[in-house]
Chain A
């Protein structure tokens, strides 16, 4: 048998050829016979009672399929964690752009006019638009206290640390909402017939989330709801929970009309109505010893959840657990909450709470360094977690991680020390100030705490009589490489060429529930199950006496052929089993939060232009330890893409809110980085391995979202001497903050040099 090195090789993406030829089929590329188009009539107030709905007489409404909440046969809610979000508002609305009524017609032009011809009258109620108003609780808009969820993490004796402290360092930090801005908007097609029930084809991350939501909405058993994931043009969390909503809408129209219905949002509707990253506020109060060691601290982390609970509790959880970062806190108290406001629900976006609380922490570490009088590098070094120590949730670090080594290597790769010195010297007389900043951080892979145990994921691997393997998972490909790495893992496990392994299109009628495609869990958790299931095929063939220990692909094919001739099919399944050493206490929020962490040191170099007040990132070094790198090209692509989104989060992407509604819901005025805006993003990996993941892999997808923003803002402070505590940091923010604080007049005078 030849030795295979498929895992660790940069094999080409499975569906790559279809993508580079334009043949890949996204949902909007699909047309069904007799198909109608669907559209959504939405609220134009933030909060109010619906008084009446009227239809303009200029339109022949007999021509249209009209659906309201009354047409819902099951429960009018989008099932997720709490069942609080209606599929269609019936009596009251709680945020702008809340869906109220659905229309379908064969002609899209007529449909658009009809949407405008529906008038809804409201009795307005007082809205809540900020976290502060929500916390004051003078207007209650959700539950009894406007709070979706709160957590308390306690370790050690926080009360005792203040009197021992040489320094007490306080800080308050803010992050804004961020739009996922996948280039393919949300879209689905739904069909209904009495025999088969509901079928939905869509652009989505989690087929079984949609499946569960549709079962509840229609009151149908699981075998009469089918969800198929089409090629998906980017997601980043933005197609985790929202597709259940749009799928419900299309399916309601399909059932009422008896025809297939396609709903594709245009960019403006997608941006204004669907989820974004939760805005956040973090307060730190930290007790530090004379030599810069953290003695303990209090962290308050609050996120704006929008109008319904949706995924806020889970986003908050990840933000909470990451709030202490990769430092050793002998004592800490972390109080966190997700509060309600009358905005569309905020939701999943790459990093899921961690980019928010880590931005605060990594900015705060630079502040602590200043107070103590040591460098940003040194303050981190003195507080790094070391193997055997515990995190804020008292998880013992069992990995042999050496953060000093990671830091040293990143400093060397970025030429940090020399640049730091040179910039300080050159900035004295330069018109453009340069700075360099670092962020050191971690990201937990897989579901938090007991999450993976509850998910109970199931994975299948099937062999055909021709010896071709098919991986059966509901884990979706949306650019990150699911298809490719899972096929690599199966090929490696079976000793077969990569070409002999395929992956089934996620279709709930065909694939088992391998859990949602979120939380950097696919390669590590699902990958490990694929490995087990693939080995199961080998064992089945070996037990039947059809396959020797060593075999060629030809012998494997012959064995499959014989087995299938005798038994009909050859399938093997593997179900998640929690590792014995992963213990988590949901009540006390204590224990092994994640089976593995990825670790990273990022270094950003910036130029602050004192004429335009723009910040340019000139160089970016991203060094991380992510266990075994399964496919170096795809892994590097995850990092560069995440860093680019992180740069957008820090310097470009601002959601402008007006009464709970995004007012800049276009690509023209919500700006993401283009090809000319980004620095060279230099990606480096260290590989320590990880016992829980497939071939030692850890999660990778979300990690690169965490570090760029704080590294960049730390670099901006290095360049300007001004402490910025909020992102996005736009030229107007620099304009307001800079002249008074740090600039000599002659430095930015346009006449300088002319005299």
Chain B
């Protein structure tokens, strides 16, 4: 079914976004990405490809890293969603943001929110990742600007800082 051609009426969907309970009126097959960007005005989540290849629309859904362009709104019902806007208090955010700025991990910036969420997700599972782990952990997030090297460096640096703090 093509999610862009709704045939069923809109329905109320309850979900928690960045810690706040939200109620949206959406078609059940509406993409979570559109609910976040259009209904909830959380535009930090970006659309790159619309087919789950680029990872720019990455969000955390009940702690899992997902492409929000592939998640129907109905599936997000009752879930805990975290977007880049809801990450500021996370203990890994400041070290990652600083390291991205110092190492040149963000160029055009369009992949950056998704990339940072993928990095958080990786570092939560593996506090001391080897470069191979970082490569693997970010493999679902495409960056056309950096050639990734400076992103790897940034994630490794943030992990080191986190451990020494």
- Which residues from chain A sit less than 8 Å from chain B, CB to CB? 10, 12-13, 15-26, 28-29, 108-109, 112-113, 180-185, 231-236, 266-267, 478-481, 633-634, 636-637, 640-645, 666-668, 672-676, 678, 680-681
Could you write out 24 A-B pairs with CB less than 8 Å apart? A10-B102, A13-B101, A13-B106, A16-B101, A20-B106, A20-B112, A20-B116, A113-B5, A183-B46, A183-B48, A183-B110, A183-B142, A183-B143, A184-B108, A231-B109, A232-B108, A235-B108, A481-B107, A640-B149, A641-B147, A666-B53, A667-B49, A673-B147, A678-B148
Give the size of the chain B interface in residues (CB under 8 angstroms).
54
Q: A16-B106, A22-B44, A667-B53 are in contact. Are A234 and B5 (CB under 8 A)?
A: no
Q: How far is it, in angstroms, between the C-alpha of A376 and the C-alpha of B43 when the chains are bound?
A: 52
B63 lies within 8 A of chain A by Cβ: no
Q: How far is it, in angstroms, between the C-alpha of A645 and the C-alpha of B144 when the chains are bound?
A: 7
B54 lies within 8 A of chain A by Cβ: yes
Q: Which residue of A lies closest to B88 (CB)?
A: A21
Q: Which residue of B lies closest to A264 (CB)?
A: B47
Q: How far is it, in angstroms, between the C-alpha of A5 and the C-alpha of B97 when the chains are bound?
A: 25
Q: How far is it, in angstroms, between the C-alpha of A107 and the C-alpha of B111 when the chains are bound?
A: 27
The reply to whether B109 and A267 form a contact with Cβ atoms under 8 Å apart is no
Determine the chain A residues whose CB is within 8 A of the CB of B107 once the complex forms: 234, 479-481, 637, 641
Q: Which of A17, A266, A667 is the most central at the interface, judged by chain B CB atoms within 10 Å of its CB?
A: A667
Shortest A110–chain B CB gap in Å is 10
The reply to whether A672 and B97 form a contact with Cβ atoms under 8 Å apart is no
Q: How far is it, in angstroms, between the C-alpha of A232 and the C-alpha of B111 when the chains are bound?
A: 12
A-facing residues in B128-154 (Cβ within 8 Å): 134-136, 138-139, 141-152
Contact with B144, one of A182, A636, A643 (Cβ below 8 angstroms): A182
B28 lies within 8 A of chain A by Cβ: no
Q: Which residue of B lies closest to A12 (CB)?
A: B101
Determine the chain A residues whose CB is within 8 A of the CB of B85 once the complex forms: 21-22
B103 lies within 8 A of chain A by Cβ: yes
Q: How far is it, in angstroms, between the C-alpha of A539 and the C-alpha of B144 when the chains are bound?
A: 42
Determine the chain A residues whose CB is within 8 A of the CB of B108 once the complex forms: 182-184, 232-235, 478-479
Shortest A149–chain B CB gap in Å is 29
Determine the chain A residues whose CB is within 8 A of the CB of B145 once the complex forms: 234, 479, 637, 641
Q: How far is it, in angstroms, between the C-alpha of A25 and the C-alpha of B51 when the chains are bound?
A: 23
The reply to whether A267 and B49 form a contact with Cβ atoms under 8 Å apart is yes
9 closest A-B pairs by CB: A22-B44, A233-B110, A479-B108, A19-B109, A644-B147, A479-B107, A22-B84, A640-B147, A667-B53
Q: Which residue of B lies closest to A634 (CB)?
A: B104
Shortest A184–chain B CB gap in Å is 4
Shortest B41–chain A CB gap in Å is 8
Shortest B83–chain A CB gap in Å is 7
Q: A637-B107, A678-B148 are in contact. Are A20 and B45 (CB under 8 A)?
A: no
Contact with B147, one of A231, A232, A643 (Cβ below 8 angstroms): A643
Determine the chain B residues whose CB is within 8 A of the CB of A25 once the complex forms: 43
B113 lies within 8 A of chain A by Cβ: yes
Shortest A97–chain B CB gap in Å is 18
The reply to whether B148 and A644 form a contact with Cβ atoms under 8 Å apart is yes
Q: How far is it, in angstroms, between the C-alpha of A182 and the C-alpha of B109 when the chains are bound?
A: 11
The reply to whether B144 and A672 form a contact with Cβ atoms under 8 Å apart is yes
The reply to whether B150 and A112 form a contact with Cβ atoms under 8 Å apart is no
B68 lies within 8 A of chain A by Cβ: no
B6 lies within 8 A of chain A by Cβ: yes
The reply to whether B135 and A667 form a contact with Cβ atoms under 8 Å apart is no
The reply to whether B46 and A233 form a contact with Cβ atoms under 8 Å apart is yes
Q: How far is it, in angstroms, between the C-alpha of A26 and the C-alpha of B149 when the chains are bound?
A: 25
Known: A18-B109, A28-B37, A28-B43; 13 extra A-B contacts, CB below 8 A, are A12-B101, A20-B100, A182-B110, A184-B110, A234-B108, A633-B150, A642-B147, A643-B147, A667-B53, A668-B51, A672-B142, A675-B138, A675-B139
Q: How far is it, in angstroms, between the C-alpha of A13 and the C-alpha of B54 when the chains are bound?
A: 24
Q: How far is it, in angstroms, between the C-alpha of A562 and the C-alpha of B82 when the chains are bound?
A: 50
Q: Which residue of B lies closest to A23 (CB)?
A: B44
Q: Which residue of B lies closest to A231 (CB)?
A: B109
Determine the chain A residues whose CB is within 8 A of the CB of B136 once the complex forms: 675-676
Contact with B83, one of A22, A28, A478 (Cβ below 8 angstroms): A22
Determine the chain B residues whose CB is within 8 A of the CB of A267 once the complex forms: 48-51
A-facing residues in B90-123 (Cβ within 8 Å): 96-97, 100-113, 116
B4 lies within 8 A of chain A by Cβ: yes
The proximity string for B residues 16-27 relative to A, scoring 1 for CB distances below 8 Å and 0 otherwise, is 000000000000
Determine the chain B residues whose CB is within 8 A of the CB of A18 once the complex forms: 109
Q: A26-B110, A674-B142, A676-B139 are in contact. Are A633 and B5 (CB under 8 A)?
A: no
Our count of residue pairs bridging A and B at CB distance below 8 angstroms stands at 170
The reply to whether A666 and B101 form a contact with Cβ atoms under 8 Å apart is no
Determine the chain B residues whose CB is within 8 A of the CB of A235 once the complex forms: 108
Determine the chain A residues whose CB is within 8 A of the CB of B88 once the complex forms: 21
The reply to whether A633 and B149 form a contact with Cβ atoms under 8 Å apart is no
Contact with A633, one of B53, B104, B151 (Cβ below 8 angstroms): B104
Shortest B161–chain A CB gap in Å is 15
Shortest A705–chain B CB gap in Å is 11
Shortest A164–chain B CB gap in Å is 44
Q: Which residue of B lies closest to A704 (CB)?
A: B147
Shortest B53–chain A CB gap in Å is 4
The reply to whether B142 and A667 form a contact with Cβ atoms under 8 Å apart is yes
Shortest A702–chain B CB gap in Å is 14
The reply to whether B147 and A678 form a contact with Cβ atoms under 8 Å apart is yes
Q: A12-B101, A667-B51, A681-B149 are in contact. Are A112 and B4 (CB under 8 A)?
A: yes
Determine the chain A residues whose CB is within 8 A of the CB of B112 once the complex forms: 19-20, 22
Q: Which of B44, B102, B112 is the most central at the interface, judged by chain A CB atoms within 10 Å of its CB?
A: B112
Determine the chain B residues whose CB is within 8 A of the CB of A19 once the complex forms: 106, 109, 112
Shortest A311–chain B CB gap in Å is 21
Q: How far is it, in angstroms, between the C-alpha of A339 and the C-alpha of B46 when the chains are bound?
A: 38
Determine the chain A residues whose CB is within 8 A of the CB of B151 once the complex forms: 675
The reply to whether B110 and A633 form a contact with Cβ atoms under 8 Å apart is no
Determine the chain B residues whose CB is within 8 A of the CB of A112 once the complex forms: 4-5
Contact with A183, one of B43, B54, B102, B104 (Cβ below 8 angstroms): B54
Q: How far is it, in angstroms, between the C-alpha of A678 and the C-alpha of B53 when the chains are bound?
A: 17
The reply to whether B44 and A109 form a contact with Cβ atoms under 8 Å apart is no
Q: Which residue of B lies closest to A26 (CB)?
A: B110
Q: Which residue of A lies closest to B30 (CB)?
A: A109
Determine the chain A residues whose CB is within 8 A of the CB of B54 once the complex forms: 183, 667
Determine the chain B residues whose CB is within 8 A of the CB of A13 once the complex forms: 101, 104, 106
Determine the chain B residues whose CB is within 8 A of the CB of A636 once the complex forms: 104, 149-150
Shortest B54–chain A CB gap in Å is 6
The reply to whether B110 and A234 form a contact with Cβ atoms under 8 Å apart is yes
Determine the chain B residues whose CB is within 8 A of the CB of A478 once the complex forms: 108
Determine the chain B residues whose CB is within 8 A of the CB of A108 once the complex forms: 4
Shortest A475–chain B CB gap in Å is 15
The reply to whether B135 and A676 form a contact with Cβ atoms under 8 Å apart is yes
Shortest A306–chain B CB gap in Å is 22
Determine the chain A residues whose CB is within 8 A of the CB of B46 once the complex forms: 26, 183-184, 233
The reply to whether B106 and A674 form a contact with Cβ atoms under 8 Å apart is no
Q: Which residue of B lies closest to A270 (CB)?
A: B49
Q: How far is it, in angstroms, between the C-alpha of A668 and the C-alpha of B111 when the chains are bound?
A: 17
Q: A21-B44, A113-B5, A233-B109 are in contact. Are A641 and B146 (CB under 8 A)?
A: yes
Q: How far is it, in angstroms, between the C-alpha of A22 and the C-alpha of B110 when the chains are bound?
A: 9
Shortest A139–chain B CB gap in Å is 36
Q: Which of A112, A235, A636 is the most central at the interface, judged by chain B CB atoms within 10 Å of its CB?
A: A636
Q: Which residue of B lies closest to A481 (CB)?
A: B107
Q: How far is it, in angstroms, between the C-alpha of A674 and the C-alpha of B54 when the chains are bound?
A: 9
Determine the chain A residues whose CB is within 8 A of the CB of B144 once the complex forms: 180-183, 234, 236, 641, 645, 672
Q: A112-B5, A234-B110, A234-B144 are in contact. Are A28 and B139 (CB under 8 A)?
A: no
The reply to whether A21 and B43 form a contact with Cβ atoms under 8 Å apart is no
The reply to whether A666 and B104 form a contact with Cβ atoms under 8 Å apart is no
Q: How far is it, in angstroms, between the C-alpha of A738 and the C-alpha of B112 when the chains are bound?
A: 41
Determine the chain A residues whose CB is within 8 A of the CB of B37 once the complex forms: 28-29
Q: A113-B5, A644-B147, A674-B139 are in contact. Are A666 and B51 (CB under 8 A)?
A: yes
The reply to whether B146 and A637 form a contact with Cβ atoms under 8 Å apart is yes
Determine the chain B residues whose CB is within 8 A of the CB of A21 once the complex forms: 44, 84-85, 88, 97
The reply to whether A12 and B141 form a contact with Cβ atoms under 8 Å apart is no
